[in-house]
Structure 1
Amino acid sequence: MSQLTCIEGAQLLTLDAAGRVLDPGELWIEGSRIVHVGLVGSFTPPADAEVRRIDGRGKVVMPGFANCHTHSYAGLLKGTVDTIPLDVFMVNAIIGAGARRPREVYVSAMVGCLEMLLTGTTACLDHFSHRPRHDAEALDAVAQAYADAGVRAAVAPMFSDLPFVDTVPLEDAEMPPALRGLLPATPQPHDPYFAMLEAGLERWQGHPTVRLMLGIDGPQRCSHELLARAGAFAQTHEIGNHTHLLEAKTQWAMAAGRDRRGFVAYLADLGLAGPRSSFAHFVWFDDRDLEAAAASGVNVVHNPSSNLIIGSGIQPLLRLVDAGVPVAFGSDGLNAGNMSMFEKTRLAALLHRVTDTDSRRWLQAGPLLRMATVNGARVLGHGGELGELSAGQLADFVILDGNSLALSPRGQLTTQLVFYEHGASVRDVFVHGEQVVAEGKPTRFDGDAILAEAREIAARLAAENSEGLARAEALHPGLRAMTSRVLNDGCGPCRFATLA
């Protein structure tokens, strides 16, 4: 006997290529897949089927968002970042995260899971950072968090091997040797990372909702030997790589020292830029980088809010779209703002409207939502089977209260979702065919208990790391001076809005 679930009578935002909105519609799922999407009465289940019916009247159903760039360590670091540029942020994040036990890794990830689920995100890519170095216990802890919460996830352990001082364009006058010695410089041997990831791939192989991929970090932070080995590993294991790339101009300034053609062509030669790979941020690209990205088929993950919070700049989104580069969206870590993908989609919509004066070129709400869902699925390795409400797709979707303040009175649905909604209308969430949020509460874990534990851990870690963060403040003036010099040197692309 087959077991089916039907959400009937709702307004269905399919986000398929045709842009169909079905009202009143019905959505049928069996197991982990959608079996039918249509108007009410358009599907007849088998006579012997056991059917669970959910009243969708007054509701809106849409695909769940994919948050394609997160850092789960930051779940315990909310509210710790303000008025600091990227390279200062990096030093503080490394010191502020501290050394963590597996339970702390787990709880931090669960904080992110809770925020994502309750605001309509069903899948994420976690560029997983762990200090002082990765180990199997921490990797299993973060993967288990996503498995327990019911969030579809790709976990990409973030790894680099160069001392911090070698990864930024710091001049001697900007920081004396005594202070340079305080910069993070923990040696990172390659073998333990690849051994851990290889064993992890075997342990998590076949899991229905959690998978692993490479997380080798930005090329300016990695030796050539590490990147070459990573490319070979990715090819052998047929997995992609997720990396920061050209997030800030200080990273653009480091490219010429590695390859005169730019970072993208360099990574493509090593097998780290292709359809299975993704670049987070990708703000400070030049024409050569754009051409190489389009030729490689790589995915780009736009992080508009964190780019603004830490002053990295404004990504030229329309240039990427015009070049045919697939763009998805991400939130970055919770220390750089919230995880509402409604907000990230809205910011992506707004920012390019003040950088391109031709309003005929502005992206409409529907295509932007497809970037946040369909393109996001591609980044996660689920291209073609996730991101739409259509038969055969994985059953990851969100049910919103259509009578909420944000959605009432109703105009054009996609426009209203992008420019008015922030996640408060989310009532129910399904991932892999299972209801993981019911009436605004997670069904697989106690959200209140997780937050209570997170508050205790965060307070303890803040106390433990306070002396290190205080010492790090001595590094800030030199890093700020470096950032200001590079931003104002008149070289390279410009990614800041200038008001005359």
Structure 2
Amino acid sequence: MQAELLIHAPWILPVDAADSQLDDHAIAVSEGRIQALLPSTEARASIEAQREIELPGHVLIPGLINAHTHAAMSLMRGLADDLPLMTWLHEHIWPAEQRWVDPAFVGDGTRLAVLEMLRGGVTCYNDMYFHPEVSAQVTAEAGMRAVIGMIVIDFPTGYAADADGYIAKGLALHEHYRDHPLIRVAFAPHSPYTVSDAPLSRVRTLADQLEIPIHIHVHETRDEVTQSLRDHGQRPLARLDGLGLLDPALLAVHMTQLEDAEIERLAATGTHVVHCPESNLKLASGFCPLARLLEAGVNVALGTDGAASNNDLSMLGEMRTAALLAKGVSGSAAAVPASAALRMATINGARALGLGEEIGSLEPGKAADIVAIDLGDAHTQPVYHPTSQLVYAASSSQVRQVWINGRQVLRDGAPTLIDTADTFARARTWGERLAASD
């Protein structure tokens, strides 16, 4: 057998149905796809590779999937910390967005976010922000995979005047990236409290026609639920259900306020939940009942949210927080083991985005989105169980190599397609502007 690339490592965690651990194995890659996973001794004897890489002390995992973020908001990291959600939004974030968010801001912020995510082993992210056409272009130039949200809200911004305007721009974006190898799109109505029934119904119809996901914040805080009961006479999730939105195309983000009947309804409809534990903790939004959702059979993915409310885009950190928080909330140390946290950050995210047949696990035929993490540091030694070390001890600084579609986009911790110095210089300039006006 011939291969373009052969990668050897002491451990491979393919995130397959059996949660296998492959010791002293190799991954063969050709034309951007995984050809085979096999013991290294067998690979050396049977595969003629154009390039062969030995990674002693490393674990290979599928590329991590950040299932909810606002990439360009990396430029607002630390702008307004330690505030309740609505104070944070109304007095700081939304005024800053009104003044500063334009294509240049989104381009520079997205590039900074993509750089951070690649360095943390993220190979695909699901975004929701203004000027998505800019985010898509920057992401594609960096060789990264993304599902770019077609933002929809009722009120005017510098991007569009009303819901119809947002939808029209979104449809143009979808048409432009229809056949792109790395960029997909999804509808991204912001939330039930910022989008009225008519646009939500139209989004539902268009998403069905185009066969794309819908990505929305819902049940993020107790105040959101109270407001919905006052204004609509029902909880936000019930309102979305009445509009026909609860189904396998929907990614419901945050979900900190859930009753037992709502969890049952999510499971029955195949609706996906995206859990953002660190953002929820920082904004004191509440606790997503993760263990109960998983027990009910709901597919739960992981997201960081934006860097303005996290304050990083580390999916390794998010896995650890999700697993630890679930144990504390449920009162069971056995809740959400390390393997479940890894699935949430990989295959569960892929399935939520409709990409489960393409990415999310290391299996023959899938895209070669591969991450190599060096477990040789002091805080990940000795290695009894690689999955546990990865989830409970590893950090983004240990991510050394990243391939997306078989193309190396991070080599020895450095990006291959992004100018790091220029990216940082632009971020500093934006920081000075925003700080002076906040």
| TM-score above 0.5 | yes
1:328 aligns with 2:301: yes
The within-5 A match list for 1:25-64 is: 25-43=25-43, 51-64=50-63
**Contact 1:398–1:429, Cα closer than 8 Å, also in 2:** yes
1:275 equivalent in structure 2: 248
| Matched AA of 2:228 | A
Distance 2:159 2:105 in 1: 22
Q: Give the match for residue 115 of structure 2.
A: 114
Q: Could you say if the C-alpha distance between residues 344 and 99 of structure 1 is closer, same or farther in structure 2, counting changes exceeding 3 Å?
A: same
Note the C-alpha offset of 1:405. Answer: 2.4
How far is 1:382 from its partner? Answer: 0.6
Secondary structure, aligned partner of 1:389: coil
Contact 1:395–1:430 (CA under 8 A) maintained in structure 2: yes
The question of whether the paired residues in 2 share the 8 Å contact of 1:262 and 1:289 is answered with no
Which whole-Å CA distance do the structure 1 matches of 2:133 and 2:121 have between them? Answer: 25
**Distance in 2 (alpha carbons) for counterparts of 1:160 and 1:187:** 9
Percent identity between the aligned chains? 33
- Cα distance change, pair 327–199 in 1 and its aligned pair in 2 (3 A): same
1:384-420 residue CA offsets vs partner (Å, 9 max, x unmatched): 3311111112111111123122322212111111111
Q: Which position in structure 2 is the counterpart of 1:150? A: 143
TM superposition shift of 1:17: 1.6
For residues 403 and 264 of structure 1, do their structure 2 counterparts lie closer, same or farther at Cα, with a shift above 3 Å needed? same
Inter-CA distance 315–208: structure 2 relative to 1 (3 Å threshold): same
Alignment root-mean-square deviation, CA: 2.2
> Residue 94 of structure 1 aligns with which residue?
94
Alignment of 1:264-303 (within 5 A): 264-303=237-276
Highest Rg: 1 or 2?
A: 1
Q: Deviations over 1:181-240 (max 9, x none)?
A: xxx999942222121111111111111111111001211221111111111111121111
Q: 1:3 & 1:27 partners in 2: Cα distance?
A: 10
Give the Cα–Cα distance (whole angstroms) in 1 for the partners of residues 264 and 375 of structure 2: 43
1:21 equivalenced with 2:28 (yes/no): no
CA contact (8 A) 2:152 2:167 kept: no
State the shift of 1:87 in Å.
0.9
- Match for residue 405 of structure 1 among 378, 394, 419: 378
Per-residue CA deviation, residues 351-408 of structure 1 (Å, 9 max, x unaligned), is 1222222444x12101210111010111222113311111112111111123122322
Give 2:181's aligned amino acid.
Answer: P
Instruction: Structure 2: state its 5+ residue gaps.
Output: none
Using the TM superposition, give the Cα deviation of residue 260 of structure 1 relative to its aligned residue in structure 2, in angstroms. 4.9
Q: CA deviation at 1:259?
A: 5.4
Q: CA deviation at 1:286?
A: 1.8
Distance 2:202 2:230 in 1: 20
Could you say which residue in structure 2 is the equivalent of 1:141? Answer: 134
Find the aligned partners of 1:426 and 1:161 in 2 and give their Cα distance: 41
- 1:337-356 Cα distance to aligned partner (Å, 9 max, x none): 11111111111111122222
Task: Describe the superposition over 1:480-500 as per-residue Cα deviations: whole angstroms up to 9, x where unpaired.
Answer: xxxxxxxxxxxxxxxxxxxxx
The 1:14–1:232 alpha-carbon spacing in structure 2 relative to 1, beyond 3 Å, is same
Amino acid corresponding to residue 313 of structure 2 in structure 1: M
Task: Specify the alignment match of 1:204 in structure 2.
Answer: 177
Give the aligned partner of residue 357 of structure 1.
331
Does the 8 A contact of 2:150 with 2:167 survive in 1? no
Question: In structure 2, the residue corresponding to 1:214 is in which secondary structure?
Answer: strand
What is the one-letter code of the residue matched to 2:399? Answer: V
Q: 1:188 to 1:251 in 2, by over 3 A?
A: farther
User: In the alignment, does 2:291 pair up with 1:318?
Assistant: yes
- CA separation of 1:6/1:227 partners in 2, compared to 1, >3 Å: closer, same or farther? same
**Could you give the per-residue CA deviations for residues 313-354 of structure 1, whole angstroms, max 9, x where no partner exists?**
111111111111110111111111111111111111111222
- Within 2, Cα distance between the matches of 1:385 and 1:266? 33
Letter of the aligned partner of 2:375 in structure 1?
Answer: G
Q: For the residues of structure 2 that align with 1:125 and 1:74, how far apart are their CA atoms?
A: 14
- Sort the Cα spacing of 1:43 and 1:224 in 2 relative to 1 into closer, same or farther, 3 A: same
On the 8 A contact 1:396/1:432 being kept in 2, the answer is yes
Structure 1 residue 454: Cα displacement: 1.3
With 286-295 and 370-379 compared, the bigger mean Cα shift is at 286-295
> Is this contact kept in 1: 2:9–2:60, CA < 8 A?
no
- Return closer, same or farther for 1:242/1:24 CA change in 2, 3 Å cut-off: same
Q: By how many angstroms is 1:2 displaced?
A: 6.4
Mapped to 1, the partners of 2:167 and 2:7 lie a distance apart of: 44
How far apart are the structure 1 equivalents of 2:22 and 2:426?
Answer: 43
Aligned residue for 1:482?
Answer: none
Whole-Å Cα distance in 1 between the matches of residues 49 and 393 of structure 2? 38
Displacement of 1:46 in angstroms is 8.3
Q: Which residue is 1:181 aligned to?
A: none
Match 1:394 to one of 361, 364, 367:
367
Query: What is the DSSP-based 3-state SS (H/G/I as helix, E as strand, rest coil) of the residue aligned with 2:140?
Result: helix
Q: 1:443 to 1:4 in 2, by over 3 A?
A: same
Q: Helix, strand or coil for the counterpart of 2:123?
A: strand
Supply the distance in 2 between the matched residues of 1:265 and 1:458 (Cα, whole angstroms): 40
Cα distance in 1 between the residues matched to 2:158 and 2:363: 50
2-structure distance, mates of 1:34, 1:338: 30
- Summarize the Cα distance change of 1:46–1:82 in structure 2 as closer, same or farther, 3 Å threshold: same
Task: For 2:241 and 2:102, locate their aligned partners in 1 and report how far apart those are by CA, in whole Å.
Answer: 36
Contact 2:11–2:386 (8 Å) recurs in 1 = no
Deviates more, 1:335-344 or 1:7-16: 7-16
Confirm or deny: 8 A CA contact 2:301 2:352 kept in the other structure: yes
Partner of 2:313: 339
Q: Distance in 1 between matches of 2:14 and 2:196?
A: 44
Q: Partner of 2:186 in structure 1? A: 213
Partner SS state of residue 154, structure 2: coil
Distance 1:56 1:187, change over 3 A: closer
Aligned residues: 435
Task: Measure, in 1, the Cα distance between the counterparts of 2:265 and 2:115.
Answer: 38
Per mean C-alpha deviation after superposition, the further-off stretch among 91-100 and 311-320 is: 91-100
